[in-house]
């Protein structure tokens, strides 16, 4: 039994080793590319033209608007999702999570910019779902990292078997959203910070059930 556990631990470590090296290389290459691009830009001329050139008022107002509503700018949602995936699966060190960690929540902080406000001057009901995507991604990639890594290499780990052949199931790994139900209790005002507490509620053979509570920032830990 002990040798089997040690063998499984070594196998999981082998699965982690190559992606970590790849991520480190990508991070260094990206940082180097950004540093070189920043070096090539004539910042003094660029800033002078931006803040003093023709049309400066509209540019400054647009910049101010974009900064206040950065959360909902194009591709920011995609960045938030993939940042959670890459950070939890590859960058951070995987903690040892015991059985007690299974039902503990992961807390994601955010706020409600004006682009999420409806005619009732509070966070629109439709915008909760985008926040839920980000919170669930943090939970799944943090809590289920060992299982996701083993499933991604199922051909060698054999975690899931094919009922037809009895061997390891083959094919790409994906997590699909089956359904969402929301129950609204209180409004969230513009720019008010809040937290999303997401945790595993239950599961069956096919689905993982997750519950998320939206609470004022710091209220549940005060």
Identify the three-state secondary structure at position 213.
Answer: strand
147 within 8 A of 120, measured Cβ to Cβ: no
Domain-located, residue 37: no
pLDDT given at position 63: 93
**Residue 94: inside a domain, yes or no?**
yes
List the domain range (segments joined by +) for residue 103: 74-222
* Tally of structural domains, the chain: 1
CB atoms within 10 A of CB 128: 19
69 within some domain: no
Kindly state whether residue 4 falls inside one of the protein's structural domains: no
CA distance between the termini of the chain: 45
User: Block means of pLDDT (10 residues each) for the chain, length 222 residues?
Assistant: 40 52 77 87 87 90 94 95 89 78 92 95 95 95 84 81 82 84 93 95 90 91 58
How high is the pLDDT of residue 92?
A: 79
- Among left, alpha and beta (phi > 0; psi -120 to 50; other), residue 155 is alpha
Q: What is the DSSP letter of 46?
A: H
Residues in the chain: 222
User: Within a domain: residue 149?
Assistant: yes
Query: What CATH number does residue 115 fall under?
Result: 3.10.129.10
- Model pLDDT, residue 7: 43
- pTM, full prediction: 0.79
Task: Specify the residue for token string 């050139």.
Answer: 53
Distance CA 110, CA 194 (A): 6
Has residue 67 been placed in a domain?
Answer: no
| Residue 86 within a domain | yes
Token code pair at residue 143: 């809590």
Residue 218 is given by DSSP the state T
CA distance 161 to 155: 9
DSSP label of 107? E
Residue 20's pLDDT is what?
Answer: 61
Is 54 a member of any domain?
Answer: no
């Amino acid at each position: 039994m002990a040798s089997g556990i040690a063998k499984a631990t070594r196998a999981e470590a082998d699965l982690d080793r190559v992606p970590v090296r790849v991520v480190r290389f990508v991070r260094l290459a990206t940082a180097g590319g950004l540093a070189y691009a920043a070096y090539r830009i004539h910042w003094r001329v660029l800033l002078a033209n931006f803040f003093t050139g023709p049309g400066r008022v509209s540019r400054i107002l647009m910049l101010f608007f974009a900064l206040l509503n950065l959360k909902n700018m194009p591709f920011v949602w995609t960045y938030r999702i993939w940042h959670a995936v890459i950070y939890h699966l590859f960058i951070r060190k995987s903690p040892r999570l015991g059985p007690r960690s299974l039902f503990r929540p992961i807390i994601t902080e955010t706020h409600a910019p004006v682009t999420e406000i409806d005619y009732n001057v509070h966070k629109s009901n439709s915008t909760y779902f985008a926040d839920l995507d980000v919170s669930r991604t943090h939970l799944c990639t943090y809590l289920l990292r060992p299982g996701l890594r083993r499933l991604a290499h199922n051909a060698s780990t054999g975690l899931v078997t094919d009922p037809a052949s009895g061997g390891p199931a083959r094919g790409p790994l994906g997590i699909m959203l089956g359904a969402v139900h929301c129950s609204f209790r209180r409004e969230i005002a513009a720019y008010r910070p809040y937290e999303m507490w997401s945790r595993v509620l239950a599961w069956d053979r096919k689905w993982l059930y997750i519950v998320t509570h939206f609470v004022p920032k710091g209220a549940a830990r005060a």
